[in-house]
Chain A
Amino acid sequence: MKKNVKALVAFIALLTLMMPTLSLSASQATSYTYVLNEKGYLNRTQDAYLPDKTISDLELMSPEDLFVDKDNILYIADSGNRRIVKYSIDKGIVVGLLEYEDFMNPRGVFVTKKGDIYVADPTAKKVFQFDKEFNILNSYGKPDSPNFSETPFEPLRVAVDNIGNIYIVSEGVYNGVIQLAYSGEFLGYFTVNKTRLSFAQSIQNYIFTRAQLANLVPRVPTTFSNIFIDNAGIVYTTTMGKNFDGIKKHNTAGGNMFKEEAWGGWGSLTDVYVDSQGLIYTSCNDGYIEVFSSAGEFIFEFGSYVFDLDVSGLYSNLPTIAVDNNGNIWTADGEKGYLQSFKPTDYALMVYGAMGLYEEGLYEESLDKWNEVLRLNQMSVLAHNGVGKSYLHAQLYEDAMEHFKVAGNREYYSEAFWEVRNNWIQGKLELFIMIIVLLWITIKIFKYFDKNKKINKLLKNIKKKIYNITIIHDVLFSFKIPKHPIDKYYEIRVFREGSTVGATIIYLITFVAYIAYKTSKGFIYQYKAVEDMDINAIIIGFIAIITLFVICNYLVTSINDGDGNFKQVYMIPAYGLIPVIISMISITISSHYLTYNEAFILDVILYIGVIWTIIVIFLGFQTVHDYSFKETIISFILTAVFMVIAAVMALIIIIMGDQLFEFIKSIVKEMAQNVFI
């Protein structure tokens, strides 16, 4: 019987699901919706929310804060009219006005599960507590604790946790979020933002005297702009200003639970709200609304700033946000005093649904949803990540790799790739061994038959002939340098070896290797795509640095009794570049076969290449100019100084030349206009 009841319940649940879903009057939003792409840039996507209702007949004046209770009643802190408006979202009417004689500028409102209404009023310097029927229960003034004596108490926003502790964001308080017990006793500061010093401030700290520092504007942490407590009692805060504090989800000790910065600092956050699924909604003063997952991943952004234009969903001042029980977003326009709601589109609901399923561990179901999302936006990083992770769970590593690649998720890609590579190696292990054995046997057989070394000699002859072609010889000579830099550079010094043509070819090879290294590494290690690079800057930079170095070094060493002439100065760096060329090429190739776990191998190769090259070139200069160690160092430092000076000079000349050109152009134009006509 029990089984039957269960089946019945399931059946009813199924039927309920099959009922017509809420209608979506889609088709047009008033601002673009963005998601983050794999490079961390914003990318346009299907509309996530559409402006729904505009309610402009409530005669609100500077509405500052919104809250939705469990009965879908919207509480509006109508600060300009000194009241709290209770508005029924389902019925579309005002169901109550909380007007209290001590209200002076009520700017924050919070409603507990029990239905108690807390109102923060910075001008009255109080937090008021009312019951459902608007009877005043308590009013919390400035705590009389000695710890609090100096701090101003001007409550701007308020939130209350399940035990009844009150969290207050107060104007002008840098110490953090004020936490009061139900009794009104000051418990301390719940959380605090760290002071972040700018570069200039750090330098000031270092060089200024204490008296000088005291004269500066005090370095205080950024202040909180809002606070929210969700159903589970988790505290969320937002911080004003363009900084990295942005939005935080706090643990009971006040620490931030987001591992990475959830918010990149596009505007100044004014409010935060969290729905029953744990999705986090924030509003920015410049009219943007953002949605984050419960783990702080960016999901959507929409909205825009407008000036003197009253279009639904665009704002010149957006002070607050709330979400009702149907998932609709509610906002209030701070200036014009109207309410604007937004309805999620089925696209947004699909994304939320897929995320929910994944979080519950229903990977297969979430995979279907994610694929639906991808159908509507193939650039959705969230969806590709979702699909990729589901495939990873299902051990479909190659499919997972494909999606992680589009999503730009190198960490997971690497994980999947490790598995694929592992399988490949295991599969081909026997083949490998066979090939090695075969090769070994072939060589043995070859040596056995070529006892007279005829073939060997022939090969050597060919090698020699090729080596004797001047240019090839000049280039290949560079391979001898890394082993015996001093000896071989000496040969350059006495003009026995090397040529400018050879050096030029080596520079070119270096350039090709460098570009390959920059642009063609494997996905895991290629952090920037070609289209994101300023290729011109790379090319010009490469040529400019070498040219500058050669010229400046030549000038410096000529005054400092260096023996090398210009040709040699040009050749020295080129002939020392072999280690770095080899390391760049080998990194470029091996990066296609290595995962994140082996990253240190690439690092080591690069370090060896670079350091070796530096040592070789150093020795080269020392040898060619016939310098002591100390003299070489000094000549290098001087060269660097000269290079900076030359670069600055070049810049000045370019700018002046441009202006001169414009000047001449305008004179010619004037002449053309006035003299000849």
Chain B
Amino acid sequence: MYLFKKKSIYVYLLTSLVVIMISFAYIKANYLTTNRDTKIPPESVKYEIVNKDEYELLHETNTLIYYYREDRDVIMIKDKRSGYTWKTGLDIPFGSDISQAVLEAETLEEKLEIAIPQEDRMNTTYTGMANSIITVEYDEEGAIKFVSSASKDYAESELYTLNDNPSTRMLAVKFTNIELELKVYITFEEDSIIYEVRDEDLQGKGRNKILSLSITPFLGASGGTEKYYNPETDMYDIIKKKYMAPGYIFVPDGSGSLIRFNDNSASFSMYYGDVYGEDLAQSTYYNSRLTDAIPLKNPVMPVFGVAHGNKQAAFVAYADSAAEYMQIAVRPEENLTSYNYVYPRFVYNTNYFQIFNKKADGFFTLMKEPNKMDIKLTYSFLAGDGSNGNYPADYTGMALKFRNHLISKGVLTETDKVDSDIPLRLDFIMADSKKGIVGNEETVVTNVNEAKEILTDVIENKKITNINVGLHGWQKGGESLSKPYQTKFSRNIGTKNKFKTLIKEFSDKSVDISFARNYIDINRQAISYQNNAVRHVNSWYLDVNKRKVLPENSPVFNFGYATPKKSIKWFNKQLDRFSDISTSMTVSGISNVLLSNYNRDKVDITVTDAIALYEESFKKANEKTKLNFENPNMYLWKYTDRYLQAPIGTSQYVYETDAVPFLQMVLSGTMEVYAPYSNFSFYTQSDILKMIDYNISPSFILSSKPSHLLSSTTSADLYSTEYFNYENLIEEVYSKVNDSLRHVIAYRWIGRDVLENGIIRNIYINDDKEIEIIINYTDSIFNYKGNSIDPLSASTIKDGEVQ
């Protein structure tokens, strides 16, 4: 009897367990995505054969056929691979012309005959822009206006053939209202169009009025509404939505962001991505202020794209020249028009606030000297799912195409790595300064001996050997209040000899230790601004107020920027001084900030020249030392051995729908790429999975003493660094990421799919060997090719077997 009862308990227990499990599984089966995930691909796009009546054939290659419509300045590109047709403009008539004709028609029949649908929410200016190859934004007494090559008035354009070669053309445009003439050189290649606008070809008085130049702004636009004629009211008052092609815009926001075409119900603000970050010396005001909002991420590469449908048709656009003046602009649906579209905007001039007295009164004005640039922009067209050896027509195809382009240009070089484990980045924060009784007081949280102990522990007890290290705040007084070129050591942190021994000892264990320094952020407590700091075009020193994000008792709140020349000088000085100690340098600041500099109102160095200066110096430096850059802009990639703090995800604009590892796909196999510090909100299981998904190595910043000692310094944002607290987490994060990624070290990353919401498949190949990594972000088991993948885990599958 008792036994029976006991049994019944077990039965009861089992049933209830099953019930709980099922209900749990049911609730959790549905993985809810956010804009930090990549979602399942968009639906297929429906498309028909396009009427070519008004078009003349320009050129045909094996892949594309190019047509042109003279009256509207529209180039049509037919992709032979997919049959999909792209138009550089919307190819729409001017609404006012139709309305006028309808008004003038006498009978209802006549009216009905000529009353073709009109674009809704498109005035004459926007209709011109929507068709145009080139649109100019100019300033007219403080007001911003637009005129385009396809404008109804004030624009004459003519397409010429160059050298009798149908693949090289030139569009000559004359804007009569602003007295500007310009030439756009157009080259039709196998699968891409190249546009070039040279500085010398911008002629006329209008040169000093133009603010920016946009190329084919409506290429790939999706959405739109149309107005239909209503015979009852004799007005265009029937509004219908046009077919919105499913798909997305890709922008290089952070690691990469998709903005799916969406019918929004609110007018959201635009996305402006300043390639390489905004040139603050040319921004509206000389001063700015940090807020509690995490700063938006800047594109580190001049690339964007559009995909229509699910791996059907796409293009990727990239600038080979004038990238430093390029802005990637996205107008989400409902913002002015009912289209979603993306376009490159090349900035020639800005309205800035010129101050004329000490009280900082002033007025808005244009720069006297507009920026000079030779634009070269390529649109490459992608088609199909990649099965026939092409690049697939989605963001992965865009990344692979762009990567290939950079390799062919020598910006990236594929490495042939043989490591058996992925690398781990361990940075140390050694010291910083806080206010003291007399002057400032050095607060040391890690000295050389302690760093040594920690590293020894990691190598010997945690058995992690592929490590590289950056030392932050190694100078006397720590980082923020020491001069950027300073090479003095402090006894409390470690003498030069101690550092030397440390670095030598670990280089024997093939652990690379480098001095880290930010060469651009300066403050008046550390160094005089005279001849050192960047001046705004209004001739004031740039000023960033960080009071809001620094502790209230911070020794300093206002920061400026070092000029490019000085940054490089200081870097070289330290490089020379330390070349006998370390064979590696960690550089932040100049890696990610690009500024011009002004003397009075004359430009001292332009961003173009600054890039050249950086390239020249880092090229030389890279010959004798390894360079570790913090989130470097593309022009430094050639000299980058380690890419630190690679962005994960996007700035999270509300209309950004997906985050994708575009940057990581481009960089994969060409350099070591590291995640942001796991110390700060990047340590959970799904973050570990994200490192695997994005193919990046973990990094930590450590101290020996508790981090609260830094709470009165400018390093107070390092609120959690003590090694004691992190030793287990380092081991856990590293081993989990390494278990998956070590299999693909010598492999090429060729594909990434979303199998289901929350399930990602990354495909890597090496010759004919293929490895798949399946990442399961969900809370339920996922079955893939006979393997079951646990919730919140990743599996590496080679030859159908889990590794």
- Mark out the residues of chain B between 649 and 696 whose CB falls within 8 Å of any chain A CB in the assembled complex: 649, 651-655, 680-687, 690
**Stretch with Cβ within 8 A of A (4 or more), from B263-271, B470-478, B493-501, B572-580:** B263-271
Does B684 contact A24, Cβ atoms closer than 8 Å? yes
Is B189 interfacial (CB-CB < 8 Å)?
no
The interface centre, meaning the residue of B264, B291, B716, B719 with most chain A CB atoms within 10 A of its CB, is: B719
Instruction: Report the minimum CB–CB distance from A554 to chain B (whole Å).
Output: 31
Q: A44 to B680: give the CA distance in the assembly, Å.
A: 10
Known: A1-B5, A26-B682, A308-B269. Is A32-B294 also a contact (CB below 8 A)? yes
Does B13 contact A346, Cβ atoms closer than 8 Å? no
B-contact 0/1 string along A531-543, CB 8 Å cutoff: 1110100000000
- B707 neighbours in A (Cβ, 8 Å): 378-379
The interface on chain B, measured as residues whose beta carbon lies within 8 A of the other chain's beta carbons, has a size of 74
Does B9 contact A8, Cβ atoms closer than 8 Å? yes
- A24 neighbours in B (Cβ, 8 Å): 684-686
Known: A308-B269, A310-B655. Is A23-B725 also a contact (CB below 8 A)? no
Does B725 contact A46, Cβ atoms closer than 8 Å? no
Does A336 contact B266, Cβ atoms closer than 8 Å? yes
- A32 neighbours in B (Cβ, 8 Å): 292, 294, 549
Contact among A20, A59, A308 with B792 in the assembled complex (CB-CB below 8 Å) = A20
Does A31 contact B706, Cβ atoms closer than 8 Å? no
Is A660 interfacial (CB-CB < 8 Å)?
no
Q: A313 to B654: give the CA distance in the assembly, Å.
A: 9
Instruction: Report the minimum CB–CB distance from B692 to chain A (whole Å).
Output: 13
Contact among B358, B437, B655, B708 with A378 in the assembled complex (CB-CB below 8 Å) = B708
Contact among B296, B555, B681, B779 with A347 in the assembled complex (CB-CB below 8 Å) = B681
Does B717 contact A44, Cβ atoms closer than 8 Å? yes
- Mark out the residues of chain B between 502 and 549 whose CB falls within 8 Å of any chain A CB in the assembled complex: 549
Is B204 interfacial (CB-CB < 8 Å)?
no
Is B490 interfacial (CB-CB < 8 Å)?
no
Is A135 interfacial (CB-CB < 8 Å)?
no
Does B681 contact A535, Cβ atoms closer than 8 Å? no
Residue of A nearest to B5 (CB): A1
Is A252 interfacial (CB-CB < 8 Å)?
no
- B791 neighbours in A (Cβ, 8 Å): 20, 23
Does B687 contact A314, Cβ atoms closer than 8 Å? no
Does A37 contact B34, Cβ atoms closer than 8 Å? no
Q: A4 to B8: give the CA distance in the assembly, Å.
A: 12
Instruction: Report the minimum CB–CB distance from A506 to chain B (whole Å).
Output: 21
A-contact 0/1 string along B688-726, CB 8 Å cutoff: 001000000000000000111001100011011010011
Residue of A nearest to B652 (CB): A312
Does A312 contact B653, Cβ atoms closer than 8 Å? yes
Instruction: Report the minimum CB–CB distance from A500 to chain B (whole Å).
Output: 26
Does A26 contact B654, Cβ atoms closer than 8 Å? no
Known: A56-B266, A311-B293, A336-B266. Is A43-B36 also a contact (CB below 8 A)? no
Does B294 contact A44, Cβ atoms closer than 8 Å? no
Does B266 contact A345, Cβ atoms closer than 8 Å? no
Is A57 interfacial (CB-CB < 8 Å)?
yes
Residue of A nearest to B6 (CB): A4
Known: A25-B34, A32-B292, A378-B707. Is A43-B551 also a contact (CB below 8 A)? yes
A-contact 0/1 string along B622-664, CB 8 Å cutoff: 0000000000000000000000000011011111000000000
Q: A50 to B34: give the CA distance in the assembly, Å.
A: 10
Is B92 interfacial (CB-CB < 8 Å)?
no
Does B719 contact A45, Cβ atoms closer than 8 Å? yes
Does A310 contact B549, Cβ atoms closer than 8 Å? no
Main secondary structure of the interface of B (DSSP, over half): loop
Is B29 interfacial (CB-CB < 8 Å)?
no
- A31 neighbours in B (Cβ, 8 Å): 292-294
- A346 neighbours in B (Cβ, 8 Å): 684
Contact among A8, A25, A340 with B777 in the assembled complex (CB-CB below 8 Å) = A25
Does B779 contact A20, Cβ atoms closer than 8 Å? yes
B-contact 0/1 string along A335-348, CB 8 Å cutoff: 01110100001110
Does A43 contact B686, Cβ atoms closer than 8 Å? no
- Mark out the residues of chain B between 232 and 270 whose CB falls within 8 Å of any chain A CB in the assembled complex: 263-269
- Mark out the residues of chain A between 156 and 179 whose CB falls within 8 Å of any chain B CB in the assembled complex: none
Is B137 interfacial (CB-CB < 8 Å)?
no
Q: A668 to B525: give the CA distance in the assembly, Å.
A: 27
Q: A662 to B435: give the CA distance in the assembly, Å.
A: 30
Residue of B nearest to A314 (CB): B293
Is B418 interfacial (CB-CB < 8 Å)?
no
Q: A44 to B791: give the CA distance in the assembly, Å.
A: 32
Known: A12-B13, A304-B293, A314-B293. Is A309-B269 also a contact (CB below 8 A)? yes
Is B772 interfacial (CB-CB < 8 Å)?
no
- A20 neighbours in B (Cβ, 8 Å): 28, 779, 791-792
Known: A20-B28, A374-B725. Is A30-B551 also a contact (CB below 8 A)? no
Does B712 contact A312, Cβ atoms closer than 8 Å? no
Does B266 contact A25, Cβ atoms closer than 8 Å? no
Does A519 contact B437, Cβ atoms closer than 8 Å? yes
Is B778 interfacial (CB-CB < 8 Å)?
yes
Is B37 interfacial (CB-CB < 8 Å)?
yes
Is B389 interfacial (CB-CB < 8 Å)?
no
- Mark out the residues of chain B between 285 and 340 whose CB falls within 8 Å of any chain A CB in the assembled complex: 291-294, 296
Is A611 interfacial (CB-CB < 8 Å)?
no
- A375 neighbours in B (Cβ, 8 Å): 720, 725-726
Is A41 interfacial (CB-CB < 8 Å)?
yes
Is B50 interfacial (CB-CB < 8 Å)?
no
- Mark out the residues of chain B between 427 and 441 whose CB falls within 8 Å of any chain A CB in the assembled complex: 434-438, 441
Is A52 interfacial (CB-CB < 8 Å)?
yes
Does B551 contact A378, Cβ atoms closer than 8 Å? no
Is B20 interfacial (CB-CB < 8 Å)?
yes
- B648 neighbours in A (Cβ, 8 Å): 27-28
Does A43 contact B720, Cβ atoms closer than 8 Å? no
Residue of A nearest to B293 (CB): A304
Instruction: Report the minimum CB–CB distance from B511 to chain A (whole Å).
Output: 26
Is A529 interfacial (CB-CB < 8 Å)?
yes
Instruction: Report the minimum CB–CB distance from A286 to chain B (whole Å).
Output: 10
Q: A515 to B792: give the CA distance in the assembly, Å.
A: 58
Does B291 contact A305, Cβ atoms closer than 8 Å? yes
Q: A309 to B564: give the CA distance in the assembly, Å.
A: 30
Known: A27-B682, A310-B653. Is A19-B13 also a contact (CB below 8 A)? no
Contact among B34, B268, B684 with A336 in the assembled complex (CB-CB below 8 Å) = B268
Residue of A nearest to B332 (CB): A310
Residue of B nearest to A35 (CB): B719
Does B437 contact A515, Cβ atoms closer than 8 Å? yes
A-contact 0/1 string along B726-748, CB 8 Å cutoff: 10000000000000000000000
Does B436 contact A531, Cβ atoms closer than 8 Å? yes
Does A26 contact B32, Cβ atoms closer than 8 Å? no
Instruction: Report the minimum CB–CB distance from A311 to chain B (whole Å).
Output: 6
Q: A210 to B35: give the CA distance in the assembly, Å.
A: 62
Does B293 contact A30, Cβ atoms closer than 8 Å? yes
Does B20 contact A16, Cβ atoms closer than 8 Å? yes
Contact among B31, B266, B293, B779 with A306 in the assembled complex (CB-CB below 8 Å) = B293
Does B12 contact A28, Cβ atoms closer than 8 Å? no
Is A548 interfacial (CB-CB < 8 Å)?
no
Does A23 contact B778, Cβ atoms closer than 8 Å? yes
Instruction: Report the minimum CB–CB distance from B270 to chain A (whole Å).
Output: 9
Does B681 contact A532, Cβ atoms closer than 8 Å? no
Is A640 interfacial (CB-CB < 8 Å)?
no
Apart from the given pairs A39-B552, A39-B553, 18 other A-B contacts in the complex at a CB distance below 8 Å: A26-B684, A27-B684, A44-B717, A44-B719, A305-B293, A310-B268, A310-B654, A336-B267, A337-B265, A378-B707, A378-B708, A379-B707, A379-B720, A530-B437, A530-B441, A531-B435, A535-B435, A535-B438
Give the 9 A-B CB pairs with smallest separation, nearest first.
A304-B293, A304-B292, A47-B681, A531-B435, A336-B266, A531-B712, A375-B725, A26-B684, A310-B268
13 interchain pairs, CB-CB under 8 A? A12-B16, A24-B686, A26-B683, A30-B293, A37-B551, A39-B553, A43-B716, A43-B719, A59-B265, A60-B265, A376-B720, A379-B707, A406-B708
Interface residues of A (CB under 8 A from B): 1, 4-5, 8, 11-12, 15-16, 19-20, 22-32, 34, 37, 39, 41, 43-47, 50-54, 56-60, 288, 302-306, 308-314, 336-338, 340, 345-347, 374-379, 406, 515, 519, 529-533, 535, 662
